[in-house]
Structure 1
Amino acid sequence: MHHMSKEMQACIDQCLSCYKTCLGTAMTHCLEAGGKHTEPAHFRLMMACAEICRTSAHFMLLDSPHHKHTCRECAEICEECAKDCERVGDMDDCVKACRACAESCRRMAA
């Protein structure tokens, strides 16, 4: 079996953690809070972020050489999501997860 690098394993963990955090926060905190939290652009961005994180993790688990592309896109979307969650406010867990994932994905995309 192919042995995955520690760096890739860490990135998979960051992606899955961000996926769970974004999806979980959107479905509970945001839906319940309403207002700015459920603005279509913000909510769509959170869903897009969760999905690209899941996809990037999946591509790395598949050991696909295309993971560099998904990771590059993931870093970009996570960064955007972190900024938007900061703007909306009261979403520190999401901001933290997105920033960590973006950082990790940038390294994998390099």
Structure 2
Amino acid sequence: MAQSEDMTRCIAHCMSCYQTCLGTAMNHCLETGGRHVEPNHFRLMMACAEMCRTAAHFMLINTPHHRHTCGECAEICSECAKDCERIGGMDECVAMCRSCAQSCRAMAA
């Protein structure tokens, strides 16, 4: 069974979000310090990046379990977007997490 256009788009969102969260955490947050490296915030960004990568992986291998990983990914991405917004100065991460959450929510349905 071939991937749908929606799934292909969701994989792209997940991979972009993975790249953005990991890159932002490892560069912007680590270098900025302060609230950007609060353990809960930093762990959330790492969890978000990893969950995005896992959700993309599950869709790529075309397992029906992707619905579960996409559902969890949507939740974590929403939480990450809110936290990045709370801390501030991470608009790209906020936008990317929001679009990934929306895309994953649709795939989980």
| Alignment TM-score, normalising by the size of structure 2 | 0.99
What is the aligned length?
109
Take 1:64 and 1:21, find their aligned partners in 2: how far apart are those partners? 25
Deviation at 1:3, TM superposition (A): 1.6
Whole-angstrom CA distance in 1 between matches of 2:74 and 2:2: 24
Find the aligned partners of 1:91 and 1:68 in 2 and give their Cα distance.
28
Structure 1: gaps of 5 or more residues: none
User: Structure 1 CA distance, aligned partners of 2:84 and 2:108?
Assistant: 24
| CA root-mean-square deviation | 0.4
What is the rounded CA distance, in whole Å, between the counterparts of 1:57 and 1:96 in structure 2? 18
1:1-110 residue pairs with structure 2 within 5 A? 2-110=1-109
Mapped partners of 2:19, 2:66: distance in 1: 20
Structure 2 gaps of 5+ residues are none
With normalisation by structure 1, the TM-score equals: 0.98
> Identity, % of aligned pairs?
71
| Deviation string, structure 1 residues 18-77 (Cα, Å, up to 9, x no partner) | 000000000000000000000000000000000000000000000010000000000000
Distance 1:55 1:10 in 2: 15
Give the 4+ runs in structure 1 shifted more than 6 A.
none
